[in-house]
Structure formats: C-alpha cells, structure tokens
Structure 1
C-alpha cells in the first residue's frame, strides 16, 4: 500500500488540472436566479453596529424609541413594581439615566422621540392629552415641558412625525379639511401655526407630502417655505410614498407578487428594486437619500412573524442582507434597528446607516 501513495497524489493532481483547464476553456458553470444579497460585513465593513438586551438590569423590558448612535439609545421601561413607565437613556455600557416617569396606567405615554445634538424631544401623553417635552442631555438638567399647545396631533409612525431642525421643533395637527403645521423653538415660546387645505404630513424640511390616509398614498409634495408644489409619479393600482428626493411605488405584477419601484420625485431614474414576496417595513422612503429598507417574507414568516431584513443601496444598486430573521423593525434619524430571537428571549440589534 505505501508504494501507491505517490501514484494517487499524481492522479489527484492531474484531475485538478483537468478541471481547472475545463473551467478556463468553457467558463464557470452557469448559475440561475437573481444575485444573492451581500452581508453587512462584506458590503459595509466599517459600519457601526450594536446590540442591546431586551431587559435592563432590574429585569424590566426595554423598548428603544431613538438611537443617538448604534450603541446609545433612548427608550421606555417599567419600574420593577410595574407602577411607573420610565423614559431612560441607555448608554453603551448599559448605564441608565432616567429622564421621566409616569404612572403605568397611561399606556404608551412616550412617543415620537427625536433629537438634534444633545437635545431630546418627545411627545408625552398623560390621560389622553399629548404634550411636548424636552431634555438637554449634556447639561444634566431635569426634563421640562415645552408646550401643551399641540393641537389635534397627528402621528404616522414616521421619523418626521416630530422633528427638530436648527433649534425649531415641528409637527402636524388635523384642522377640519386641512392640516396645521405647528412649530416652537426648542427653548420655548409661542407656537407658530401654518395651515393648508388637504391631508398632509411632514417630510424633510421644508417639504410636506399629501395622501397620509389615502388608499393610493401620495400625489404631491409641497414646499412650506416657497409654496412650490411637485406632482409625484403614481401607478395604476399602486401605493405611492415620497420624500423630497425619491418616491416609492408599490404594486402587484402579473403573477400577483409585489413589485417595489423607486424614482426621483419628478419621475426620472425609475427602477424596480425588488419583486416577489417583498414588502415595505418602515414608513420613510429612501432614508438618507440613499437606502431603501425592505423586508422579504419566507415560508416560516407566518409562524414566526419574522422576515428577512434587507437594504437597497441606491448608490450602486446593490441589495444587502441585514438580518435573515428580523422582527420589530424600526428606523429613526439615520439608525435602523430590529430584534432577533423569539418573544421570550430576544436581542435588539442596530445599524447606523450614517457611518456607511
């Protein structure tokens, strides 16, 4: 047997050479189907990522509502005795800083969190009455109420529900057959009101977009500073959503599958970015004017409630797999977050898209 080893090695080497030669002569074997999405590590190796536990040190469930970066967030948690709901800032080392607490009889009292620099602003609803509150995280001073004069506040689960731009807080309120665009300085003062007819929501300042409650979505962008209006692309039996830079058109193809298209607000550069068992998973379109966040439902999604989380990058038209099994997907202010695991044991994961 030992004398056969050199012969076997020779035969193996010859086989490898023949296979390699065939590949050079005839090319690589053909592959079928669409290209597989890249992983986050392969596509964006320098992107900042983070993870936070589902429970704080005292065992209370923590639900983030805003990320300052991939590892620092603000969110809500109950007290250990379940008597209060708290708004806390959770640091990278899991240190906690409590900003507010309210009786737990007020369900979901903290919403629409947003920030500019070290200033955090949020909607606080007590006994069904919404107010605006703010905290300067750098100064360490207690949180303070900004105003009770919020009108018939509208929230659409968008990062633009409440915004802070150049020291001014903005939001929308219903007003008969129109919409009020309300604003107040983050330092306080009177509430300014601008009213226009129709059903509008805020987008990236100074733009607003209509169709917030319409079955077919948006048709027009309106500049709140100049009054300019832009008619946006729509489709037959489709739902349209827009930002100032891009519009998303979701429709069904001939096979009954979902087709997601993107184009500029003027209708140019239209392209199909996904087709099949895809769906939109956040309200905002082409975040940071670059990333379209989508989900893909798989065979186990009906049982688990989870789905593939993907991001389409408009700069190079690539699709990146963020998570193969994601739930509770959310986005605000440049950071995308989601949970992995099951209802009993899960982790919140985050990706700062601003670092790509």
Structure 2
C-alpha cells in the first residue's frame, strides 16, 4: 500500500506569481490609503481564544493537528528519548492523554484527525501500513482500530479530509486511472464501502464533494453524493476557484498585476471582493463556517521574517478583520483558526474559536 498523499491544494495563481516575483509588494503611490482594519479583539471581544507553548512540559516539541476548542487540541510529539511518535490529547488545563504511539523507526505519521461530539477519528500510518482509529474522549476507554483498508488515501490539508457523518467516517482515495474512490466505514468498524467517481474529487461539507482539487484552475463542479445533484462552480480565465456548497473563493490578477480575492455563491450571486494587493489564501477551505474568508497580506518585513498579516473577511458584515499582524504557520480545522508568532526557534501558538464570534 502506498503512503499518504497529502498534496496541498493548488496554489492560487496570485500566490504563484508572487513567488516568481511578478506581483508588486506595495500599492501604487498617490493612491488614498484605506484605514487599517479592526483587530479581532476589537471586532470580536467575546470570542474564545487560547495560547499554548510550542513545547510540552517534558520539553518535546508539540504539533497540533486539530483543536477541539481554543484551548484543547490533538497533536503529535516525540517521546523524550525520541524513540516514539505520540498522538496526544492536550487539555485546557495542560494535562495530556496519550491516544497512540508508534516507533519512529517505522516513519510513523498522524496526518489528519476529525471530531464529532466526543468521538475522535484519526489516520495513522507507518511503513507497515495505514489505518483509521477512533476514541471516545468522554471516557478512558482504549482507542480502537476502525479499518486498515484505507486505499490510496488523499489528504489536502482541508477540514474535510476526514468527515464524520451519518454514523460513518468518509475520506477520498485515488482509484485506478482518472477515478476517485469515495470511501466510508462505520464508526463501529467493519467493511469499507467504496464509490468510484470519475475525476479527481475531495470531500466538502457532507454530503457534497468538489472536483478540481489538483487542477490549475481549481473547482468546476460540486456533487451531492446523497441525491446526485450537481452545481457548477464559477470560473473565469486567469482565476483559481475553490468552493464549498455555500460559498466559492475566486483568486485572480488585476490589470495592474495585483492579486484579487473574491467570494461568491456557486451560482455567481453575492460576488464581492474580500482583498486586493498582496492578498493570498493561507488555508485550504474557502469561507469557513459559511462566514469567514481567511487570507493574508504581505507586510513591510515579510521578505525578511516570513511573517504575514493574518486577516479574516466577514461576509456578513463585509468587513476585513486583522487576526494577527505578524503570523506564520497558519492552520484551520472545524471552526478553530490557529497560528504562531515569534521566530521559528522561539514561538507561541495562538488559537481563535471562530464559532464563538
């Protein structure tokens, strides 16, 4: 069985050009400067936030893969002797629960996890094979393996890489030829159901899937696996599109060579510009919670530090909010946005539960 395929989603055309030096890093002189956006603390004073150290109390580096809330996370850390990779539940009070452990000699990985209520599901892999596991976080019961029949699983750093719905866990795997296997298994374990879908597809908000995940121009269609209903995605020349069933993100270039990020419903209605200039996408999923388009802007020191200004465009209020002026390592899953500040050698992680805004 081949290893996990965790290709990142196709970079936006704007981001690709930025890397090659085509985009301009500063607005044209003589233009009126827009007022600075409100900070997240000003705009959302009651939103729940958390800050966690980069290391565990034993000194080992901790890498979150999922936040259950702004202060509770699931992530990985090596053992102190370096011989094992651990999957841990890190609670708000700092206590830890080890969910799994695998010898580092087997090149282990825990690439993705998802939660629904008290049920946690994750993917685990080593050179010997790949599996899906689950645990009930409300009890101390031992985790159990759901299946080792995962196929050639494909993960795209999306919150929908694993979807828990209708008592099943759903994921996508590469089939033979130009075919995607939409796979599922019961939360109780058992045989894996496989539905073959021509083309390259990824899960979206259940029961929808979306194509174009590896295409240069992005998505062109959404498909409801339950009803068979399809929806076209808006497309245009020199643009990259990513869609959920409710909103699409369209990234293109302006006539002056700057980046433009727009959001629109899949039918093309309610189209509006979220940001322009050096704007870029920083997470895989468009308009999360059907409300927030998470993006970045270059700053005057970005070339030196690698930091970006982390922003969220609120489609309800049509306003741009500054989440952090100097962020890096940005991630999002299931309502919680997290990022780091500091330097690669000394940093702190921050989390913002967008569900509480």
Q: TM-score, normalization: structure 1?
A: 0.89
Residue equivalent to 1:187: 188
Residue equivalent to 2:15: none
Structure 2 CA distance for partners of 1:35 and 1:235, relative to 1, 3 Å = farther
Calculate the aligned-residue CA RMSD, in Å: 1.2
SS at match of 2:288: coil
Residue equivalent to 2:147: 147
SS at match of 2:238: coil
Structure 2 CA distance for partners of 1:132 and 1:236, relative to 1, 3 Å = same
Does residue 1:48 correspond to 2:83, yes or no? no
The 5 A counterparts of 1:270-281 are: 270-281=271-282
- Give 1:128 shift: 6.0
Residue equivalent to 1:199: 200
Residue equivalent to 2:287: 286
1:321-344 CA distances to partner (integer Å, 9 max, x unpaired)?
000010110000000000111112
- Give 1:197 shift: 0.8
Name the CA distance, whole Å, in 2 between partners of 1:66 and 1:350.
11
Q: Is the 8 A contact 2:222 2:245 kept in 1?
A: yes
Residue equivalent to 1:306: 307
Name the CA distance, whole Å, in 2 between partners of 1:284 and 1:108.
26
Residue equivalent to 1:4: none
Tell which deviates more after alignment, 283-292 or 157-166: 157-166
The 5 A counterparts of 1:1-356 are: 32-107=32-107, 109-127=109-127, 129-176=129-176, 177-356=178-357
SS at match of 2:134: strand
Alignment size in residue pairs? 326
- Which structure has more helix as a fraction of its residues? 1
Name the CA distance, whole Å, in 1 between partners of 2:88 and 2:238.
44
SS at match of 2:303: helix
Runs of 4+ off more than 6 Å: none
Name the CA distance, whole Å, in 1 between partners of 2:100 and 2:242.
35
1:34-56 CA distances to partner (integer Å, 9 max, x unpaired)?
23211111100110000100000
Name the CA distance, whole Å, in 1 between partners of 2:105 and 2:37.
45
Residue equivalent to 1:21: none
- Give 1:108 shift: 5.4
Long gaps (5+) in structure 1: 1-30
1:267-304 CA distances to partner (integer Å, 9 max, x unpaired)?
11111110001100000010000000001112321221
Q: TM-score, normalization: structure 2?
A: 0.89
Structure 2 CA distance for partners of 1:36 and 1:186, relative to 1, 3 Å = same
Q: Is the 8 A contact 2:168 2:187 kept in 1?
A: yes
Name the CA distance, whole Å, in 2 between partners of 1:266 and 1:212.
19
1:126-177 CA distances to partner (integer Å, 9 max, x unpaired)?
1162210111111211111110111111111111111112421000111122
- Give 1:228 shift: 1.0
Residue equivalent to 1:17: none
Name the CA distance, whole Å, in 2 between partners of 1:314 and 1:118.
30
SS at match of 2:105: coil
Long gaps (5+) in structure 2: 1-30
